[in-house]
A = this chain, B = another copy of it.
């Protein structure tokens, strides 16, 4: 991913240099790269060309990085640290951070729709729709809006679950779906992979809530404990830590169970499901 973003974001010798520096600051060096890994691991089931996968994965990660830049803004979550570095608006300024996010957002779709990503334009168009839905008001954007309202609203478990399916689940699901689209798996055969993605998305978020409570800020590379301090309901506050851990383990088992029709070629997806729960950052 670092090499891909390095090639995509060559700093121009003109007044836009800081815009590119800001995009590079956020996109290069750090991050778990979970979404690109999911696209690789899913596309591997179908023997997709690695160059195609890398482009689609770059587009998806660009959307993820853009969302982190905007979520960290003072008007949003107001975070100073991300991936162990100062956030974009702290290194540059708010205007540059907003524009860097916007530009990564647009670049993601340019990369995805470009003919180099797949020879068949039908595949490219399907990838774009998948990514746009994951990023928009029914996905990440809508989930972040719900999160902003969570301080006042005191959500119940069903609403927190719905919010997290949108906020983090949608793009994780898109990363898996993109692998299936590249593999030309017909939509009616994607049900197990969609179940897998849905389960690990939720397990990922429960693990995030646990790390937010018990994790190490140095390892996480960002401030922790903010949701609890803001009085937001989380899986942890609603279920308690023991039930939350048990629920996450159950989701991981269920995710792996969805892959039963796949052989050893799905072992990477199985490993990712376990990692999602066991990670320390």
Binding site for B on A (CB under 8 A): 14-16, 18-20, 23, 70, 73, 75-76, 93-96, 98-99, 101-103, 105-110, 112-115, 120-122, 124-126, 128-129, 131-133, 135-137, 139, 141-142, 144-146, 148-150, 153, 155, 159, 162-163
Least Cβ distance of A93 to chain B in Å? 7
Q: Which residue of chain B has its CB nearest to the CB of A67?
A: B102
Q: Report Cα–Cα, A135/B98, bound state, in Å.
A: 14
Are the CB atoms of B75 and A93 closer together than 8 Å?
yes
Known contacts A137-B16, A137-B19, A142-B103; is A95 also within 8 Å of B75 by CB? yes
A132 partner, pick from B95, B101, B113, B148, beta carbons under 8 A: B113
Whole-angstrom distance between the alpha carbons of A103 and B66 in the complex?
13
Q: Inside 8 A of A131's CB, which chain B residues have their CB? A: 109
From known contacts A15-B146, A96-B145, A113-B128, infer whether A137 and B20 are also in contact, taking CB-CB under 8 Å.
yes
Measured between beta carbons, the chain B residues less than 8 angstroms from A139 are 106
- Of A20, A101, A136, chain B has the most CB atoms within 10 Å of the CB of A136
Beyond A95-B148, A145-B19, A146-B14, whether A109 also contacts B109 by CB under 8 A is yes
Q: Report Cα–Cα, A101/B120, bound state, in Å.
A: 31
Could you list 18 further interchain pairs (A-B, Cβ under 8 angstroms) beyond the known A15-B146, A18-B149, A19-B141? A14-B146, A15-B149, A15-B150, A15-B153, A15-B159, A16-B145, A20-B137, A70-B99, A75-B93, A75-B94, A75-B95, A106-B133, A106-B139, A107-B136, A109-B131, A110-B133, A110-B136, A124-B128
Contacting pair B113 A145 (CB below 8 A):
no
Closest B residue by C-beta to A159: B15
A145's contact among B99, B106, B125, by CB below 8 Å, is which? B99
Q: A75-B95, A137-B16 are in contact. Are A105 and B107 (CB under 8 A)?
A: no
Q: Which 4 A-B pairs have the closest CB atoms?
A: A106-B136, A75-B94, A110-B132, A113-B128
